Amino acid sequence: MTTIAVLGNGRVGGNLAAALTRAGHEVTVADRTPGAAAGAARTAGIVINATPGAGSLERLVALRKELRDTILVDVSNATVDGPDGLPADLVYPGSSLAEQLQEALPETRVVKTLNTMLFPVMTAPAALTQAPDAFLSGEDPQAKQTVRDLLIDLGWRKEWITDLGGIQTARATEAATLFVPHVMRSSGFAPFAISIAR
């Protein structure tokens, strides 16, 4: 059992918190009330960033002390939304939210994952008709192994998890979010994940 703090109680955070609790982990969800994020992060071994990506960097840098020596699992994409509320551009072109977080929080082990799919797939990958992929980006091999184990707890098979390498590789998976609005306009809001055909 791992003590996990989920920052963000929207659809993504709530979905992950419920699934991880069912898997036997001790999970705290931090809402937007003052001090909630700091209190949750202070006692957790793993912190999941499920806050809106455009404001994540500022929120998490404010938790620098609480996030020291912690694994920060970043599942958010920092995007500029278009008029319809769907992603239209990247906040950090030529970089990524994960890279910005790792640079700003050098004593925190940042791992990027689960950001190339609609939120229902994060906790029910087997529900898709084809095998999905979950990608890992991060500098710390041990932290990535811990996150890999969490993904398995969420129903991901080992062969569906691909380690892309260092944190810089997160810029590729974050850019993939620009597929989302086009796919949704084409086929509606049906769960999907970006995967590699092999």
pLDDT in tens, 29-58: 998 777 899 999 999 999 999 999 999 999
Q: Which residues contact 182 (CB under 8 A, 6 or more apart)?
A: none
Contact present, 176 and 116 (Cβ < 8 Å):
yes
Strand 71-74's sheet: what is its strand order? 26-30, 3-7, 46-49, 71-74, 109-112, 134-138, 161-165
Looking at residue 135, its pLDDT comes to 98
pLDDT at position 122 over 80? yes
Looking at residue 84, its pLDDT comes to 87
Q: How far apart are CA 172 and CA 163, in angstroms?
A: 13
Q: How far apart are CA 130 and CA 125, in angstroms?
A: 9
For the chain, where are the alpha helices, taking DSSP H only?
A: 11-22, 36-42, 53-61, 64-67, 97-104, 119-123, 141-153, 170-175, 179-187
| 123 confidence band (pLDDT: 50, 70, 90) | very high
| 146 confidence band (pLDDT: 50, 70, 90) | very high
* CA angle centred on 137, ends 164 and 163, rounded to 5°: 35
pLDDT at position 1 over 70? no
% of the chain at pLDDT higher than 90: 89
Please give the C-alpha separations between residue 126 and each of 51, 113, 156, 195, in angstroms, as whole numbers: 25, 17, 8, 13
Residue type, 198: R
**Chain CA centroid to CA 5, Å:** 13
| 185 confidence band (pLDDT: 50, 70, 90) | confident
Contact present, 38 and 64 (Cβ < 8 Å):
no
pLDDT at position 20 over 70? yes
% of the chain at pLDDT higher than 70: 99
Rounded to an integer, the average pLDDT of 85-114 is: 96
Q: Which residues contact 84 (CB under 8 A, 6 or more apart)?
A: 181
